[in-house]
Amino acid sequence: MTSPIKLVEQAMLERLRNVPRSYSGMALESYAAQLDDELFNWVRTLPATWVTFGEVKESKRISAQTFRVTATFEVLCAQRALQENAARLNSSAAADIGVYQLLDDNKIALVNQRLGLGLEPITPGGIRPVMKGLANRDAVVVYAQEFKTSWYETYPVQGVGPEIGADGQPLPDGQLINVGFDYFLKPQHSYPANPADSSDLLTTQP
């Protein structure tokens, strides 16, 4: 079964990797506790952007089987502390791009995107400092930018007989059946004021 959280995280990564930038050479991957490395090996990869799941803020029932799930994700930006100068301002190397520029570029790439999944358009949240200080002998700064979106999940109703999966076999109680994505194609259309212009239903059975 493919987790909807994993789907969104991977789609965010793909969007950040494919968006045009004025510089090259930035490391971009899922966050895997890089900052917990006591040898600070991650410093050699800077500048870096890491994407990770934050939390589910709300799971709201909208029908007997369907819930609207609102969740947050974080995009961490890590860079050496740089002093601005004319050469760096005109550079096309990622090593010369400040952490604030990384934050802005990643935000522009993600805000209002549905990532091809029919999500509610991604909205930006707060920015918090994660680290400011020395890692080995390098002065580094790390910030985390929060992003929020929503999707729909469908589960079996308990006590009304077993749900049948794609293979024709009964599903265990509590197993996620579908993840629904609604597309709002017209700028003035949004949930819950308007019905979706189009919808997709992802079946999570293998």
pLDDT at 204 over 60: no
> What is the C-alpha separation between 107 and 15, in angstroms, rounded?
11
Which residue ranges form the domains of the chain, and what is each CATH number? 4-159 (3.30.2000.10)
Predicted confidence (pLDDT) per residue in 24-61, tens digit: 889 999 999 999 988 888 998 899 999 999 999 999 99
pLDDT at 183 over 50: yes
pTM summary value: 0.72
CA dist., res. 91 & res. 53, Å (int): 32
Measure the CA angle with vertex 79, ends 25 and 87; round to 5°. 70
pLDDT greater than 50 at residue 198: yes
Residue 42 CA, distance from chain mean position? 21
